[in-house]
Structure 1
Amino acid sequence: LVSAILFLSAAFGSSDAKAQSSELSDPVLIHHWNFNEIPNNVDFSTVSPELLNASSRLYGALLSYDGARWDRVNEPTPINAREVPYVEEDDRALRLRNPAGALTLHLPTKGYRDVVLKYAILRTSSGAHNQEVSYSIDGENFITDGLDSTEFYVSLYYDMVEFDFSGIEGVDDNPDFKVRLTLAGENSEPDNDSGNQRINNVTLEGYELEPEIRRNLIHYWNFDNIPNDVNFPTGLEISAGGIVGGSSTVGGAWLRYDGDRWDRVNAPTPFNARTVPYDEEEDRGLRLRNPSGDFLVRIPTTGHKNVLVRYAAKRTDSGSEAQLITWSTDGTTFHSDGLVFDSVQVGLNFVLYEFDFTGWEDVDDNPDFTLRIRAAGPGSEPDNIEGNQRLNHLTVDATSTETSAGDGYGDLPGRIALAQNYPNPFNPATRISFDLPEQMHVTLEVFDITGRHIQTLVNQAVPAGSHTVTFDAAQLSSGIYLYRLQADGQSFTRRMMFVK
């Protein structure tokens, strides 16, 4: 059953959260709004607020309000804040003004289960005293089935409200899931045009579902290795790995940008990161500067099928607010046939975009498959020389065409394996790769030749598949080092040579 749980603000103490079911892994933050970067005096009737401050692992999360007006307000609270560190001076909230209406949250849960919605809320003295709660699993019809309570009191001080949808039929793995919060009770009358409710730090968390098709990573760009102040020439085709970062297991992959300039930028995000462990300080993104142009991604799928493309993207204030997505089987003729989204909005915080080509025979086993991402919307005008869009962690996952029929798990590694580092010898950094046939706890450590412990690179649960970790020896002396992988009761050790 679902119940609303109020966590009273610090001035009034707090209540205990509803206990969550025991899990082997931590829940994932799927959607998050904090409203901090909304400019002052924004008229939401002309500026779409849905993605302005949403940080999301699934595209399509949005908010809408059918009351009189809504805008941002200086009403900070650390309750449910996810920014690290939390800065009260930067914190803003969403103001839902009277005459009252309903705030609808579109919260896709595709690929996730047992989701929990949380947010902080208060009202002004003239604001509506209550909220009514309902949800939809088809995106149109709102119901209250399974809710212990459908209405709760909103106080003058921040409370945290929590709705646990675990076990509610139709909520899991649903791209159309929505929650509606209707301002109700005293002061919600249609003729009351003063007062408001204020909401902050809206989050949806859940657990990842086991994928129906297990894929291997065949192309990955992470941009970490690009030196500072490198401006790539227009039209340059950049392969994965090397100066860019990442890797490819199928030859012929490249990126190309036909806009004004492109370079690296300090734009970290854990969304879709495949380096283990993820290091925010080392993470860099790719900056596509205005005047904007086409961003082309050549994605050879030779020997592979069930192709899944993902990347994280955001923009600056003056950057283009949308992207048009098309694809080509010959690298020349582009169209959007079959895409669920052929255009996407791009906000000020990172959102993870996914394009699933599973079962598309003309994409499978194709050396010329290409994706085109074209900047669009406000900010993409040819005379706009300010702003940019930023991309990070562009991946292509697929299964081998040699996988036996009916094997939905694709070409997962058949055993634990530790590869020789590359490059070797190295200076100052090298990459260490390992394979896992299933999720397990992994320890990857580096020792000097005497057995003295130097660094722990991985010490956590790691999902099945192939993984790569970067080891930087810049602060060490030249010599031979050992790296050891321990997993599932097995131990593997290899040597590597650092030469300054």
Structure 2
Amino acid sequence: MLGLAGQSADGSDCFIGGPYVLHVEHDRAQIVWVTPAGTDAGSVAIEANGGEEQQNVKAVVSIPLFRDRNSEEDELDHLRHLSKVEELQPHTEYHYEVQCGDGESTASGRFKTPPKPGESVPVEFVAVGDGHANTINSSYIRISEPVGEIKPDFVIHAGDLRGGRGHDWSRWEGYLKVARPYLQNSIFLPVVGAHDVRPARNFRSLFAFNDPDGNPDDEDDAGTYYTMQYGNILVIILDHVYEIEEQVQWVEEVLSQSEAEWIIVSSHESWTSVASRGNWLRNEYYKDFSRIFEEHGVDIVITAHDHMYERRIPFGSKGVKPVHYITINSNGNSRSVRPSPVVAGGIGKREHVYTHFRVDGNQLEMDVIKYDGTVLDRLELIKDDDGMYQDEVMEQAVDLDLAHKLSHIYTGQSMTEGLRYERRDIMGQFKSQAPENGESVVLKLNTGNASDHERDVSRFPLGSKLIVYEQNDPSSWQTEKQIIEITGDTTEIEVTAPDNMIHDVEGFDPPLELEVNIRVDGRDFERATIRPTLTGSGELDKVNLEAPSSNQWVPAKPVFAWEEMPQAREYQLQAGLPDFDNVKIDTIVTDTHFKYSNGLEEGEDYVWRVRALNEFEGPWSDEIRFHVNRSTEQGNFDPVSFGDNLVPAVDKIEVPSVNFGSTGRFRGENSMFTWLEADGVLPLKVRGGGISHFQDRGNVRINLIKVANADTVDRDHSVPPDGEFYEVELVSPSNGLHELQWNDGNDRTALEWPEGQPMSIRASKEHPFSFQRGFHLYFYVPEGTSVVAGHLSSHSSVDFYDGSGNEFTGWQNTEDGEGSFVIPVPEGLDNTFWSVEGERNRTLSLYTVPPYLARSTEELLLPEELFETEDIPTSSRNDETPSRIELEQNYPNPFNPETIISFSLPEQEHVTLEVYNVAGQRVMTLLNEVKPSGSHEVVFDASDLSSGVYLYRLQTNDYVKSRQMLLIK
């Protein structure tokens, strides 16, 4: 009997990753784990729950993993081991134990084999996605631990298991360790994501998509798509990157042969989306896949990539059995929501979640669960004997709290008590109030258009019956026999209300809804709701703009804000060159603010406008002109100066343990800073002659300089062998900060030094640093930093990660791919160590944080001034008496929920500092007291206020000054 059944790994260094279970059928499985190369591969023992140990475990097969790309020099000191287990019993729980190295290190887990195909048994499975688990301290543990406690029969991961580049091994190691709670106790079904490829070699090796009995193949473009049959559930895993055309044919063949009662498909990228990063119909094979899914009765499609949770039904789905599309975000940076003209029904949320499925016979339940255990959304599907969803399930009530944010996208009005979840493929509203008996009214239909949001029904020749019912009383439905015909390019239809239409329910006078059963090109779109407006005619007024204000200077990625209009369902925002000769921004949003992340042209003047939309299009607002900052000095962000007296960070503050990065290789004249103890030796390994046409033309000249007096204390000007490492020892008689300078005559050089030796690159505005090879470096973001800003010669193939290992997205200049960048610092992630990684031929400068980078936190050198403490109260700084009263711009701005307001007084004054909304109403008094001369700071906490523009005003006896600030929640 196994003694550790179901236990986790013991934490030994012997297990770098795993064990975990892959490619399971009802009678076989594969168990995989990763160890250091010098460790014995170990062995596997397995037994049925409470039974005898199995004797059908195959020999262990080991293959190498790779640090970077497909070259032997990048081979890691790690091995992936795989053992096949055969002759298992169907639907049986097994416990396994892996012995590693000398046999004293063990790890164990459990899994349950599938029933035979077609056999119906209760099944539990979990789906996660966008894990972005880059480090062993990743916040993804908030998801992986509760999933592990469920011990589901299998786990689907919809891609982006880790962030960064697919060839960066350190992030794979982070994922394997953070995901242990569920990897060891469930069958694992991974989907290749955007961050798991480039190239996909480690993904294919770790999850045994290459030949498990030999070396991995060298082709990165082989698709990783497969199936698993778990009783009456068929799971299909797709690859969104490679062999797409082949998969279309393969999927149709698989589905045409399947008799499974439930069909689940998972791919990384979603084909329809309401996320700010999503592209509607982004995949050229979308129509092929969607047709196949509908024709063969796929129930649920699970995706990720868009960094939000969504549940939706695309336009065109069969009304009798629609395909439910689920997008999961378990740890990626949350994206904002935008209205989609190609989806109907469902919800969208900016939350980190996992989905817990329970299938029993003809019933499927899905709970969408946040990391704190809160159920965010729930879906229940019940099939009849023909495999169709039962009507009462199709019309189940939607939790109003869950659907509130997106309800206006799908229904045209806010959710109210009694509203039921129904198909809404084509939406419209009454142009006038609800009709009386026998009265004719004109309806204006809103069908949407995927390309330009036009409202027209010219492409929908419709024939239908009319259904009228009370919103809170479905039993009052009345059916009118007449057929409604809509032809030509009309956007209006005249409908006569039936004489027996019920209007009044005691104590409640709701608006009425009209529903039509719509068929388009022979396809049934089921019910489409046409509902009345909430306010009279529904006509819309001009929108009042808030920010940017007239002639305001803004960053290249500005935030636009305007006043809310209660009748509006959404807003159209446009920005472009004066007179809108060239429209740069044209987007539909549901909030009253929008951040343009792609970046406007620096130095240009623009105008912007907004109009409200519901079933009507409101008039455009007044046009406001604004200016985009021409450079960093003009307010895009304020560069910060730091001193050059550097000290080891590890001696001053607590530094986290991180995986070692890399500095790449160097070319030309370069320098780094290092810290030595007295009479210390700096051992280096140097390799020159990295470029063949420079070989034998010179040597690498290395100088060690004491920074305090600029004296050269040691040097090495020997002539090294080309292309081979040679050792150099540099000695200084002094301790402290030194600069290591070298010049290789433009002949690419590689340097190596002992791990833990303080050694930092300077990449400042005055001294940008150029990387000739890929790099992965750490830097420090001091407390109070609001933005990480700087300059890059190329924004492509560069990634920034915060102190929790989460990747930032959307900061790149996607048009020309170079120039300044600004990354807002999330709350609580200042005073932490961030990292940046990129490919070769990138030149980097940091402007707002100390411009020093190292391959690990313990090697980082930082300006000593960061650690100097002064006995100065935070609310008043009286080092120097100001010459006049000044009210500064709040910082940070925009903010959420706190910001700092600073002001200066040349002499003692009675001061009032108040905050007003844009309607002129005072919302808070921050100060009303006498303050001494000097500089002062006040923290403004807007936790209880809603998003929008606010004014803050400073007033003394003879001075009044106001400024604007923007709160975004």
TM range (shorter): under 0.3
Larger Rg: 2
**TM-score scaled by structure 1?**
0.25
Structure with greater proportional helix content? 2
**TM-score scaled by structure 2?**
0.14
Higher relative contact order (CA 8 A, sep 6+): 1
